[in-house]
Structure 1
Amino acid sequence: MTTTISQWAARRDAAIAVLRQHLLPTPLVRIHLEGFDAPAYLKLETMQPTGSFKVRGALASVAASVRSGRAVVTASTGNHGLGVAYAATRLGAQAIVVVSENTSTVKIDAMRLFAIDLRLVGDGYDAAEAAALDLAAEEGALFVSAYTDPDVIAGQATLVDEVAGQLPGAFQIVVPVGGGGLASGIALAAPVGARVVGVEAAASRAVSTSMTVGRVVEVEIGTTIADGLAGNIVPDAMTPRILAECGVGMVAVEEAAIHDAVRELALRYGVVAEGSASVGIAAARLGQVSPDMSTVFAITGRNIAADRFARLLSS
């Protein structure tokens, strides 16, 4: 990460301060996960006001833009854009949010409730991100990446700060990975003795592939119910390097396992979770998470379309 240690500390302190003004800690709930012998907990980011953890990084980054006096432009698969819309409204900032035309309708409808400039571009995240970068350059605005912006990462780091205050002793935390912003923040802020495990959808492995190669590489992106994790990352993304340097272990799960995890969270624990939010449970059920210490599963979002959710529950 090009940000120095002192700059990172300042960004983290600023993120903590703004989040304390606008958000309450989300619940940490003990569960019994069949076949998983360690104590298991759900960190329910589904209870955030936007239904997703993304509001953490959005508040931190939009607050930084307000201090700089610049408007914000961002691209999103939905939840980050919704977080930026919420943050811009709360903080009185100007924001342009670019999403792809096939973004979940439930997320698009939610974003339209806020006073932002919402634009639908292209048929996937990569196209939306390219359009947003061009737009930011044209407008002289601040582009806020959903995953590789230092203030976004600092905001996401506050999740593990909450966990450390809610769960005494050593723990591991299992984190969904799309662009790697949440996992990077958690890895940088995790207390000594904590372990971080990142979980990708097998259909979209941009971060783990880049970690293995040692530089950002483009990968083929398949169709996945974990739409919030799908897409490539920009060539200068810092997240693979952060995760590699912090020793974050990475695993990936196939679609059938994600489907089963969404169903299990809903029917066994009463938690509405997106496919993207459910990959940690899927990995544990497949034996990809070691049950050797207390384990926290970051359940990162609930914004799934009703018809898709109904199909998953009945399949």
Structure 2
Amino acid sequence: MSAAGNTRWDHRIAAAAAIVAEHLSPTPLVRIDLEGFGAPAYLKLETLQPTGSFKVRGALAAVAAGAAGGRTIVTASAGNHGLGVAYAATRLGARAVVVVPRTASPAKIDALRHLAIDLRLVGESYDDAEAAAHVIADDTGGRYVSAYTDPDVIAGQATVVREIAESLSGTARIVVPVGGGGLVSGTVLGAPDRFQVLGVEAAASRAVSASMAAGRIVEVPVSSTIADGLAGNIAPDTLAPSVLTAAAVGVLAADEPMIRRAVRTLALEHGTVTEGSGAVGVAAALNGDVPADLPTVFVITGRNIAPATLVSLLAA
């Protein structure tokens, strides 16, 4: 299931690609030798985005589309989407309110404090922050921009796979971290037919795969995870389960020990600092769960890990 032939998504992705190209440089696709993985492996380094995460792509697309007429953009975030919206609002001259749970990564909260937005810390989970952001948008007449269900955000995330397609010929598998599913939805919708897509969740938070299995959006228990950007339940209008089901995309899970190992491996063996959320694809590969029958691109989604957490992982 690609965007080809779907006029609605073709238009959105083209518009997103134009705004992303205006404000961001393409990120590198780097060939690596991954221990125990027999196929050619590549890292798509979204860690090199100005906000440290791929989410700036979708944020630029959504802010550009949503701030017309001076409307305030309101969003909830575990950190990286908020950083993207703050960056986009600054670049595009829009107003933004970003609601973040008090338990979000200190590194992400500190980065948000340095940007020209209205930052609000609410609740103990992403779900708390999301509920508060909806209330703020309703009360102020702002446009709520979901980190994973907003169509313009999804179109912006599709620009990741467009860049991969420009750099890599032939068939390949694209391995994508899955939280709310905005990136994996954009990847599926924007990928040429020669690419297969595989999602990886944190085992501590499996809302998308559970909803796929149930055929409807369901609530799941969410445990503490180093992949904090993937943690939380999903909204009733989330597109990812239906998009992935229609495209027959599989979704794996990476457990905490393997995610921690992947963060260490990426830093010490491949010179790439990544947060837990960005390392789940590599974690699944190190655990032998990713097939090695095709050249494989691991989308490394973000670098915004708290320094103390990184130090403790590297010292383990």
Indicate whether the TM-score tops 0.5.
yes
After superposition, the C-alpha distances for 1:45-72 in whole angstroms (9 at most, x for unaligned) are 0000000000000000000013354210
Given residue 284 of structure 1, which amino acid in structure 2 is its aligned partner? A
In structure 2, distance between residues paired with 1:6 and 1:135? 33
> Are 1:282 and 2:283 counterparts?
yes
After superposition, the C-alpha distances for 1:227-277 in whole angstroms (9 at most, x for unaligned) are 000000011211111111111111001100000000000000010000000
Q: Is the 8 A contact 2:158 2:190 kept in 1?
A: yes
In structure 2, what is the equivalent of residue 92 of structure 1?
93
In structure 1, what is the equivalent of residue 28 of structure 2?
27
1:311 shift after superposition: 0.3
Point out 4+ residue stretches in structure 1 off by more than 6 angstroms: none
In structure 2, distance between residues paired with 1:242 and 1:293? 23
Aligned-residue sequence identity (percent) comes to: 63
In structure 1, what is the equivalent of residue 224 of structure 2?
223
In structure 1, distance between residues paired with 2:262 and 2:235? 29
Higher mean Cα deviation, 104-113 or 225-234? 104-113
In structure 2, distance between residues paired with 1:230 and 1:165? 31
Q: Is the 8 A contact 2:262 2:283 kept in 1?
A: yes
In structure 2, what is the equivalent of residue 5 of structure 1?
6
In structure 1, what is the equivalent of residue 105 of structure 2?
104
Give structure 2 stretches of 5+ with no counterpart.
none
Aligned pairs for 1:233-272 within 5 A: 233-272=234-273
1:110 shift after superposition: 0.8
In structure 2, what is the equivalent of residue 169 of structure 1?
170
Given residue 27 of structure 1, which amino acid in structure 2 is its aligned partner? P
SS of residue matched to 2:189: helix
1:159 shift after superposition: 0.2
After superposition, the C-alpha distances for 1:169-215 in whole angstroms (9 at most, x for unaligned) are 11110000000000000001111121100000000000000001000
Aligned residue pairs, count:
314
Given residue 110 of structure 1, which amino acid in structure 2 is its aligned partner? A
After superposition, the C-alpha distances for 1:126-174 in whole angstroms (9 at most, x for unaligned) are 0000000111111111000000100000000000000000111111100
SS of residue matched to 1:252: strand
After superposition, the C-alpha distances for 1:91-130 in whole angstroms (9 at most, x for unaligned) are 0001000000111111111111111100000001000000
Given residue 30 of structure 1, which amino acid in structure 2 is its aligned partner? R
Q: Is the 8 A contact 2:228 2:277 kept in 1?
A: yes
After superposition, the C-alpha distances for 1:263-315 in whole angstroms (9 at most, x for unaligned) are 00000001000000000001011111110011000000000010010001111
Q: Is the 8 A contact 1:27 1:44 kept in 2?
A: yes
In structure 1, distance between residues paired with 2:76 and 2:42? 31
> Are 1:183 and 2:169 counterparts?
no
Given residue 287 of structure 2, which amino acid in structure 1 is its aligned partner? L
Given residue 303 of structure 2, which amino acid in structure 1 is its aligned partner? R
SS of residue matched to 2:175: strand
In structure 1, distance between residues paired with 2:251 and 2:238? 17
SS of residue matched to 1:232: coil
Higher mean Cα deviation, 62-71 or 163-172? 62-71
C-alpha RMSD of matched pairs (Å): 1.3
Q: Is the 8 A contact 1:175 1:183 kept in 2?
A: yes
In structure 1, distance between residues paired with 2:155 and 2:108? 24
Give structure 1 stretches of 5+ with no counterpart.
none
In structure 2, what is the equivalent of residue 140 of structure 1?
141
Q: Is the 8 A contact 1:188 1:246 kept in 2?
A: no
Higher mean Cα deviation, 5-14 or 189-198? 5-14
Given residue 310 of structure 2, which amino acid in structure 1 is its aligned partner? F
1:7 shift after superposition: 2.4
In structure 2, distance between residues paired with 1:211 and 1:68? 38
Q: Is the 8 A contact 1:100 1:127 kept in 2?
A: yes
